[in-house]
Structure 1
Amino acid sequence: MKPYAFPLVAIALAGCAVLAAQTTAVPQSAGGTAREAPASPPAGSADPATAAAPPVTGGEAFAAECGTCHLPYLPAFLPARSWEAITSDLAHHFGEDASLDAATTRAITDYLVANAADASRRSRRFLRGIDAGETPLRITGTPWWQSAHREVSARHFASDKVKTPSNCAACHRAAVSGSFDDDD
């Protein structure tokens, strides 16, 4: 396994653990003790067409909404300020209208910021070469990404298989799981 793959897998696993904890947490009372979840309404008492959907975590929303068009990139690949800039104008998202409702956008932004490159010591290596005042909007434009792909030719990226440098899964088969090992 390449040296950079382990931290990425660790970040992905940590993200999964956080998501699992968020979705299985027991509600707490004001005093910090566990309380019972509200009972479900009796069958037939609520109109299914108007019933509220269960809350979705930021990670789930990110995977569902962003993953419909592209790989849900690891948040650790960009600093928080980049994710905030990207999600602040989804109507003009790299030439596409990726607009979402305000609550979903906020949940996704919060998730990305909480897991961004500058959010943990382990992922800060992705920030190397990015000036403090710089806000990269493309992962492929970061010094880390360019260094990791310096031996890949422009012709390879333009091939029918890959088509674009942002198509990680074309070469990294386990990218969706957070592994970018060259052997995957």
Structure 2
Amino acid sequence: MSLLSITGVALSSNDESNNALFSWFKKTKTGIDPVESQRYIEECGSCHFPYQPGLLPATSWETITNNLDDHFGENAELSESDLNTLRNFLLNNAAGRSNYGLPNKIMAAQGDRPLPLRITEMRYFLHEHSELPQRMVQDNPKVKSFSNCDSCHQSAKQGLYDEHDVTIPGFGHWDD
């Protein structure tokens, strides 16, 4: 009984060490962890949307970072130092290694199927975007591709991909 009392006192304490220790539990776990690596934003976000690492599993990120000389048709090679920094960031925050809901849904939906290198080929992504006609995305000059997340998901950079908060340029609010 005394162990429970001590634990209760420790958990109810508001001192700084307990706040740091239990901040993991207090953090909102909806959506996906927003990108906080300035280096990643500078290196990767200078060419395309800085995709959150939780949108792909570590295996996919490992393959991508090992083949930057042919990064989807472009040479995106980095210095060894930058490569190591970005690889660590991507692998440590990949789907399956996150406490956020969306990366866990992405991994659960993939099941034991092969892991693609493109976010747009993940089973969860395909399911969530299956009702969108080509004219709204690929044929839409304001969107162009499903890979331009922030064209329709205005809060994508903050890691929020709520299906009820989608506005497709030229078409307005999307309601499935």
Q: TM-score, normalised by structure 1?
A: 0.67
Contact 1:128 1:143 in 2 (8 A): no
What's 2:123 paired with? 143
Higher relative contact order (Cα pairs below 8 Å, separated by 6+ residues): 1
Please tell me the residue identity of whatever aligns with 1:168.
Answer: C
DSSP-derived class of the 2:124 partner: helix
User: In 2, Cα distance between the equivalents of 1:105 and 1:140?
Assistant: 24
User: In 2, Cα distance between the equivalents of 1:101 and 1:66?
Assistant: 13
Please tell me the residue identity of whatever aligns with 1:77.
Answer: L
> Of the candidates 110, 121, 127, which is equivalent to residue 88 of structure 2?
110
Contact 2:57 2:96 in 1 (8 A): yes
Taking every aligned residue pair, what percent have the same amino acid on both sides?
36
Higher helix proportion (structure 1 or 2): 2
Pair 1:98-2:80 in alignment? no
Provide runs of 4+ in structure 1 moved above 6 Å. Answer: none
Contact 2:96 2:107 in 1 (8 A): yes
Q: TM-score, normalised by structure 2?
A: 0.69
In structure 2, stretches of 5+ residues that fail to align are 1-28, 167-176
1:1-184 pair list within 5 angstroms: 7-8=30-31, 11-12=33-34, 16=36, 59-122=37-100, 123-132=103-112, 134-158=114-138, 159-181=140-162, 182-183=164-165
Contact 1:139 1:145 in 2 (8 A): yes
DSSP-derived class of the 2:106 partner: helix
Contact 2:59 2:115 in 1 (8 A): yes
Give the total of aligned pairs: 134
In structure 1, stretches of 5+ residues that fail to align are 1-5, 17-58
User: In 2, Cα distance between the equivalents of 1:110 and 1:95?
Assistant: 23
